[in-house]
Structure 1
Amino acid sequence: MRRVLLPHVVSDEPAPADGVIRDFGGRSMGTSWSVRLVAAPGGDCAELQQSLQQGLQQQLDAVVAEMSHWEQDSDLGRFNRAEAGSWRQLPPAFFDVLAFAMEVARASGGAYDPCAGELVNLWGFGPHGRFDQPDFVPPADAQIAAVRAALAAHPVVLERDGRRALQPGGVQLDLSAVAKGYSVDRLAYFLKSQGYAHYLVEVGGELRGAGVKPDGQPWWVALEQVADEAAPPLDELVLALHGLSVATSGDYRRYFQSNGQRYSHTIDPRNGMPIANDLASVTVVHPQCMAADAWSTALTVLGCEHGLRLAEQQGLAARFVARHRDGGFTEHMSTHLRSMLDE
């Protein structure tokens, strides 16, 4: 059965008369990106399309230059190598994304922490010492405890007036659970600045939509499904992505197995271990993709019971898919998401 999610607020602004859909795309952050937009007829010559393609790519390149933990020369890379006790002035976008990520960390009780990059690195999911290398060995308990103790003793401090951050020494920022969502928002802002009000933006599977297609239909997207050969999938959920974003975190994306045990790429900063709860995926629908991205990660770490409770407290539209030990799945929705169901 196909189920439909509809936004609570729908704009009545139509797409341009006789508008046509134009497609753009490329690569960034180790993944693909795409943009579909509605252009007025006759106003999209080859030169204009090339300029728009370059402008979109430049927005993503700017995010990488500021916030990538894979690029040593990024602003984030330089912060991670900065001397202990030094204050670093951050570019405005970098500062704002970090400040938002730290607010989600506080609100989630530390289930998500952008300052816990060293834990991610220990488990082989960072840029070096990867889990897929032949010499990789999972970290010992003492290594994990030492990193957690250092994080607790020497936190990053933000100074909003000067847009500065204190590197207490050895902290490795990792914005991978929020920067991709921010990049979706950034592309959307860029399109709006260029006069486009009807579009669908996607970066690595995270999406944001605005307006409608030329036929008046919204941008319909299907929420990610989790596959299990031993059980049928859950009923399909499609979302009218009109003024909304959607992001999904799942345990099926990146993981490794060692000595018969499966280790997820999502690390719980509270104990320094890969998550081991029953959640297969968490999807969050939100006006901002940055928020959907960060919250989907935090709720995944919290697990179904505590994550659903926090989603209710925060007013988040969230879908939890829990995995059964004997195969199959159970779906749980927050009140805000359930209210979007077209029943």
Structure 2
Amino acid sequence: MNNNALKNIIYSIVLLLVMLLVYLYRQNQPLPEQSPDSSVRMVLTGTTMGTSYRIVYLDERRRDLQDGIDSLLAVFNRSLSTYIPDSEISRFNRADTLVFDLPYFLPVLEVSKEVFKNTGGAFDPTVGPLVNAWGFGPEGAERKDSLGIQQLLQRVGFDKVHFDESMAVKQQPDLYLDFSAIAKGYGVDVVAQYLSERGIAHYLVEIGGELSARGTNDAGEIWKVGISQPDEEGQANELYSIVALDNRGMATSGNYRNFYIRDGQKLSHTISPFTGYPVEHGLLSATVLAADCMTADAYATAMMVIGTEASIALQQQVPGLEIFLIYTDEVGNLQSYASDGLKPYLSFPQKNR
């Protein structure tokens, strides 16, 4: 064999080895992130639960799921809306027992019981009569002397509702359930599950400011949502901070817009189930992130009852919660607090830095 032939054989072997190494290298590399195509972005808007919804999802088949979602929410409201006379909750409020017909009543009872227990009763879906008495319910204001408040407090207590997998029973006949502090978050979860069951992996669901996000947006980025500036006269689009919502539910509760002033006193719509009176503390806004939006919604409501310091302590006791609080300090300055797990996902507009 001459030298040229030997060189050709060696060259061929080296070339094959190089090609093999390149092939093996490529096979062992992680697949590149595929940014979703903006042409598959679908946006749905509508109304439900006395508020609006906005749903953004990415679907290569460009399916319009509006009718299905609206039908789902209509059934959801037939279970939990106190504004529908023959809904399950309305029937329960008129009677002593309820046998469940729809799949929504039991889960909201279960989460309510858990949050009621973890917050020492700060989250209480039976506080409705007090909310109505202070003029924040559909029936308007009623008489609010100390005797009347004490009488209404006898009707409050979620531990007076007993339930199993098939029915709920009142331990006190005049008990009144109202899930308005948790229903929007639950509705978000119901819609999110509907999308997931149809193979949609990237979506952002918002109902009345409560949210759930999965996957990424059409730019391949984590969905980003805003927390409003807590000003009494602030506009809804004035943002205090921005959260990158990474596969979680998020809810915000606040006292800074829903209030009225009587006899020179500002009365908040958050009524304490402990005292029967509107709360008085510096916490203006509580944003909670959790695995699901229903849980986030309930804890955000509870935190507006217990105030800043107790909310920080609560977050540290309950696994899976992250919080962002906006409050006024002792001298009236606006301050904020973010839990450690939320800080990497939090940013601020330039003016709020």
TM range (shorter): 0.7 to 0.9
Q: Give the partner amino acid of 2:294.
A: M
Give 2:267's match in structure 1, choosing from 250, 254, 263: 263
Q: Which runs of 5+ in 2 are unaligned?
A: 1-31, 348-353
Q: TM-score, normalised by structure 1?
A: 0.83
User: Secondary structure of the equivalent of 1:226?
Assistant: coil
The answer as to 2:94 corresponding to 1:89 is no
The answer as to 2:117 corresponding to 1:106 is yes
* Distance change >3 Å, CA 57–CA 109, structure 1 → 2: same
Partner of 1:196: 200
Tell me which structure has the larger Cα radius of gyration. Answer: 2
Partner of 2:29: none
User: Secondary structure of the equivalent of 1:267?
Assistant: coil
Give 2:303's match in structure 1, choosing from 282, 296, 299: 299
Give 1:32's match in structure 2, choosing from 52, 61, 70: 52
Superposed displacement of residue 236, structure 1: 4.5
After the TM superposition, which residues 249-288 of structure 1 pair with which residues of structure 2 at under 5 Å, given as runs?
A: 249-288=253-292
Give the total of aligned pairs: 312
- Conservation of the 8 A alpha-carbon contact between 1:92 and 1:163: no
Q: Distance in 2 between matches of 1:289 and 1:159?
A: 23
Partner of 2:12: none
- Conservation of the 8 A alpha-carbon contact between 1:317 and 1:334: yes
The answer as to 2:135 corresponding to 1:124 is yes
Partner of 1:149: 154
* Distance change >3 Å, CA 207–CA 157, structure 1 → 2: same
Superposed displacement of residue 239, structure 1: 1.8
Q: Which runs of 5+ in 1 are unaligned?
A: 1-11, 131-135
Which whole-Å deviations, capped at 9, do the CAs of 1:95-140 have from their partners, x for residues lacking one? 1102211221111011110122111121122221x2xxxxx45511
User: Secondary structure of the equivalent of 2:68?
Assistant: helix
User: Secondary structure of the equivalent of 1:248?
Assistant: strand
Superposed displacement of residue 259, structure 1: 0.7
Give 1:337's match in structure 2, choosing from 336, 342, 346: 342
% identity of equivalent residues: 35
Q: Which has the higher contact order (CA 8 A, sep 6+)?
A: 1
Q: Distance in 2 between matches of 1:336 and 1:196?
A: 27
Q: Give 1 or 2: higher helix fraction.
A: 2
Q: Give the partner amino acid of 1:332.
A: Y
* Distance change >3 Å, CA 71–CA 15, structure 1 → 2: farther
- Conservation of the 8 A alpha-carbon contact between 2:202 and 2:215: yes
Superposed displacement of residue 80, structure 1: 0.5
- Conservation of the 8 A alpha-carbon contact between 2:133 and 2:144: yes
* Distance change >3 Å, CA 272–CA 210, structure 1 → 2: same
Once the two structures are overlaid, the 10-residue window that deviates more, 118-127 or 72-81, is 118-127
- Conservation of the 8 A alpha-carbon contact between 1:209 and 1:219: yes
- Conservation of the 8 A alpha-carbon contact between 1:79 and 1:167: no
Q: Distance in 1 between matches of 2:218 and 2:84?
A: 40
* Distance change >3 Å, CA 326–CA 58, structure 1 → 2: same
* Distance change >3 Å, CA 165–CA 14, structure 1 → 2: farther
- Conservation of the 8 A alpha-carbon contact between 1:14 and 1:212: no
The answer as to 2:42 corresponding to 1:22 is yes
Q: Distance in 1 between matches of 2:158 and 2:92?
A: 18
- Conservation of the 8 A alpha-carbon contact between 2:132 and 2:142: no
Partner of 1:67: 80
RMSD: 2.6
Q: Give the partner amino acid of 2:105.
A: F
The answer as to 2:143 corresponding to 1:115 is no
